[in-house]
Structure 1
């Protein structure tokens, strides 16, 4: 029974990792993806906090688009950053404070 349960868990994890929108993104407090790392969140178009962060990387492969906002509710657009994934680091230098972001699991910046 334990073996069956373990097999189900492994299959479930693989299915989640392969599902569209399951791509991960991590924001960092320092430039060049240094300093404290934030939560590893899904790159699924949902709104996430970016306050106190300076850079990010998308750990999944493939082109993604990350959109940044001045407020914490993803309403006041500042800039968009294409990201090639595969843990390529992007430094966020917008000239203003960034409060939140959305990540698209494809190259479309229309979040």
Structure 2
């Protein structure tokens, strides 16, 4: 069985990409309980996008992925210019979200300075 140079180069490249360490992509998971317990939501990317938080009371950013900031909003859809509450330095610990109001949406970013929307 003979392999062409192109086929061997492709196989070597594929093997190196599998063996090389990958940068950790953070995610965030919300929970219905106030101590990261109860019903578990989806693990969504911590990339600055807006996500629903209805019926959730705590969250955890994936550990080992560095420092992140979560901003929670009273309104749905992460309203630009709307009231938000910054929760900086999230690194894998459970965070109870008791802001005195119902939290309806959130963003998470790889940014210890907490990105402002709008």
TM-score range, shorter chain: 0.7 to 0.9
Name segments (4+ residues, structure 1) moved above 6 Å: none
TM-score with structure 1 setting the length: 0.78
Mapping 1:48-63, distance limit 5 Å: 48-61=51-64, 62-63=66-67
TM-score with structure 2 setting the length: 0.74
| Bigger helix share | 1
Aligned counterpart in structure 1 of residue 95 of structure 2, from 90, 93, 99: 90
**Partners of 2:70 and 2:90 within 8 A in 1:** no
**Partners of 1:51 and 1:100 within 8 A in 2:** yes
Aligned counterpart in structure 2 of residue 38 of structure 1, from 41, 52, 56: 41
**Partners of 1:64 and 1:105 within 8 A in 2:** yes
Query: Alignment length, in residue pairs?
Result: 103
- State the structure with more CA Rg: 2
**RMSD, matched Cα:** 2.5
